[in-house]
């Protein structure tokens, strides 16, 4: 048997501890499957004295992750600290400069600095692996770079933040409003220290940017994502969408169009009977569409100790086997600069508004939509006990620009009792 593969692990939070547990528990299994013993040489974290529930005394300790990344007895630097810059980026760069392979779960760092890191790694003949950075335990990176390598990918779509999916499905189940369920999720520890990373769609957008690069052979372009979180979704939208056969999801979509690369992370309506519509709680789902395979649906836990550590170890096993491939599926220096789409592809839209209860109000709204080139597919008007009449409209396919033109014109009709809500309906 060949020499052991020696790891240096920076970051001993939930995922780092999970990696240690897997290596300690499954040492014989890992060796049998890779033909190589996998060991831990050294670790690094903010506090050495903290009890993490796993024995760490047999490993060398480094206070500085950069020092860990450059140790002579480390073959693979495992970066599990997080953060787009700072110690994580410095240690990753140091590891590559020192000739070490790198495994990371750091989606933010890859979304912002992935191109430069990929070029550095590939120029040195090193692996930079990151299965754990996207969708937790779902092997979506391997699916795109390996299993679907012969396909021209036409669309990547999915629910990539379990916290947001928990909030939206819990709102529907409980009938409670966004603020109440947000507080509940925060109390359960489901949200990041900065909750805006979750509910603002930033965390999920980091993941989408990475998958988009692999799928379409472009440089990672996080800034090119049209980004909108779930903060404005009300219980009224949840119940109204359900009444019309839809569910609301924070949906990431990337597709190459004649207008360029379209990347969106925003709340959308999806059919309630679709796989995405049936997705509950904190689970993630990624839908991959290709010219030969048509559609592949991957579902699984998007976070947590076991699932994310499992994804880290998948990369460890590949390196132990000597398996290597370009960071984003093709050489980094061949990735094209992403040409951002000038507009979104047309789609149906869901519109919700309150109208002043007086004759001709609905006719004015229909006229404004028609003037903007937006036709109505179906409409519902609900009973009410006050002066505002709730109205729901589903349009035929329209551009977002046309929808925005209509919404702006509605403000001047004098019949709105509340500001309209417009959500895209994604066809699956």
Active site residues: 207
Q: Which helix (H) or strand (E) holds 212?
A: helix 202-216
Distance in angstroms (rounded) separating the CA atoms of residues 65 and 390: 57
Tell me how far the alpha carbon of residue 104 is from its chain's centroid: 16
From residue 88, alpha-carbon distances to 8, 67, 117, 198, 303 in Å are 13, 12, 12, 20, 20
Distance in angstroms (rounded) separating the CA atoms of residues 294 and 130: 25
Which of 198-234 are b and which e, b meaning 16 or more Cβ less than 10 Å from the residue's Cβ?
bbbbbbbbbbbbbbbbbbbbbbbbbebbbbbbbeebe
Residue 46 gets the label, from left (phi > 0), alpha (psi -120 to 50) or beta, of: alpha
The token pair at 133 is 């950075």
Q: Is the dihedral of CA 114, 195, 278, 307 positive or negative?
A: positive
From residue 229, alpha-carbon distances to 165, 197, 205, 313 in Å are 12, 9, 10, 31
Q: How many CA atoms lie within 13 A of 127 on its CB side?
A: 21
Among the listed residues 257, 293, 324, 287, the one whose alpha carbon sits nearest the alpha carbon of residue 150:
293
Give 110-175 as a DSSP string.
HHHHHHHHHHHHHHTT--EE-GGGSSTT--HHHIIIIITTTS-EEEEEEE--HHHHHHHHHHHHH-
* Contact status, residue 132 vs residue 311, Cβ threshold 8 Å: yes
């Amino acid at each position: 048997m060949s020499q052991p593969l020696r790891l240096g692990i920076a970051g001993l939070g939930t995922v780092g501890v999970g990696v240690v547990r897997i290596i300690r528990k499954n040492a014989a299994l890992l060796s049998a499957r890779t033909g190589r013993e996998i060991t831990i040489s050294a670790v690094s974290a903010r506090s050495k004295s903290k009890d993490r529930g796993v024995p760490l005394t047999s490993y060398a300790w480094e206070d500085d992750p950069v020092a860990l990344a450059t140790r002579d007895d480390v073959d693979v630097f495992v970066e599990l600290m997080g953060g787009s810059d700072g110690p994580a980026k410095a240690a990753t760069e140091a590891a590559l400069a020192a000739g070490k392979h790198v495994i990371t779960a750091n989606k933010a760092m890859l979304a912002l600095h992935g191109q430069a890191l990929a070029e550095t790694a590939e120029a040195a003949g090193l692996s930079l692996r990151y299965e754990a950075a996207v969708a937790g335990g779902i092997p979506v990176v391997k699916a795109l770079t390996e299993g679907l390598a012969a396909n021209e990918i036409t669309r990547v779509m999915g629910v990539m933040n379990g916290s947001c999916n928990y909030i939206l499905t819990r709102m529907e189940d409980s009938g409670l409003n966004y603020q109440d369920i947000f507080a509940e999720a925060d109390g359960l520890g489901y949200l990041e220290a900065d909750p805006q990373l979750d509910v603002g769609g930033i965390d999920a957008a980091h993941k989408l940017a990475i998958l988009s690069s692999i799928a379409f052979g472009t440089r990672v372009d996080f800034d090119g994502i049209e980004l909108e979180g779930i903060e404005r979704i009300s219980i009224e939208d949840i119940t109204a969408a359900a009444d019309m056969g839809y569910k609301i999801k924070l949906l990431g979509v990337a597709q190459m169009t004649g207008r360029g690369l379209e990347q969106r992370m925003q709340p959308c309506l999806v059919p309630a009977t679709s796989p995405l519509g049936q997705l509950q709680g904190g689970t993630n789902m990624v839908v991959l569409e290709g010219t030969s395979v048509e559609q592949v649906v991957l579902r699984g836990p998007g976070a947590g100790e076991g699932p994310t550590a499992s994804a880290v170890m998948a990369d460890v096993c590949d390196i132990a086997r000597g398996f290597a491939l370009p960071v984003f599926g093709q050489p980094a220096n061949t990735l094209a600069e992403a040409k951002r789409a000038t507009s979104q592809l047309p789609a149906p839209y869901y519109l919700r508004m309150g109208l002043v209860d007086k004759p001709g109000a609905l006719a004015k709204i229909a006229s404004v939509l028609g003037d903007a080139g937006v036709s109505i597919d179906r409409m519902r008007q609900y009973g009410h006990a006050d002066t505002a009449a709730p109205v729901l409209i589903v349009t035929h396919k329209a551009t977002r620009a046309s929808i925005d033109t209509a919404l702006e014109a509605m403000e001047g009709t004098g019949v709105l009792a509340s500001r309209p809500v417009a959500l895209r309906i994604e066809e699956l």
